[in-house]
């Protein structure tokens, strides 16, 4: 029998209401244990819509190593690479990008997107 490698996938819903219906969870945000996943889904889909409407056609990726280091969303437009981490609540913990990624892609722009600054996650800021 051949060993197979399972590649991780992320699935994003164009409507978080559909996502909530699929998983059967309609609790208010303060009661949710999946708030990070909701936030990420919302940002990725809205970013795709914004970029498309602005005429900025990019390729989007999710990045994770076998050691589970990850970047929530990467955009590639021509030679420009932008990496984003999405955090609903950063607290006092500083958000860091994996050294593996920064070493492999030293020219990549990085940004952490939180509810306090998600308006920066627009095509004008990151064309």
Per-residue pLDDT at 6:
47
The closest alpha carbon to 76, from 24, 127, 15, belongs to: 127
Are 51 and 73 spatial neighbours (Cβ–Cβ below 8 Å)?
no
Name the DSSP class of 122.
S
The closest alpha carbon to 69, from 31, 103, 41, belongs to: 103
Q: Which helix (H) or strand (E) holds 24?
A: none
CATH of 16-120, one of 1.10.760, 3.40.50, 1.10.287, 3.40.1350: 3.40.1350
Per-residue pLDDT at 123:
58
Per-residue pLDDT at 47:
92
CA dist., res. 120 & res. 111, Å (int):
9
CA dist., res. 84 & res. 75, Å (int):
8
**β-bridge partners, 92:** none
CA dist., res. 87 & res. 114, Å (int):
5
The full set of domain ranges for the chain reads 16-120
> In tens digits, what is the pLDDT along the chain, a chain of 127 residues?
444 444 567 889 999 999 999 999 999 999 999 999 999 999 999 999 988 888 888 999 999 998 999 999 999 999 999 999 999 987 777 889 999 999 999 999 999 999 988 887 875 554 4
């Amino acid at each position: 029998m051949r060993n197979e490698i399972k590649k991780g996938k992320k699935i994003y819903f164009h409507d978080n209401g559909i996502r909530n219906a699929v998983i059967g969870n309609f609790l208010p945000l303060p009661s949710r244990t999946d708030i990070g996943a909701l936030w990420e889904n919302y940002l990725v889909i809205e970013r795709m819509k914004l970029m498309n409407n602005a005429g900025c056609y990019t390729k989007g990726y999710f990045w994770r190593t076998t050691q589970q280091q990850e970047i929530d969303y990467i955009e590639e437009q021509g030679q420009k690479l932008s990496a984003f981490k999405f955090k609903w609540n950063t607290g006092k913990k500083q958000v860091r990008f994996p050294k593996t990624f920064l070493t492999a892609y030293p020219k990549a722009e990085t940004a952490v997107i939180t509810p306090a600054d998600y308006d920066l996650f627009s095509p004008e800021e990151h064309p």
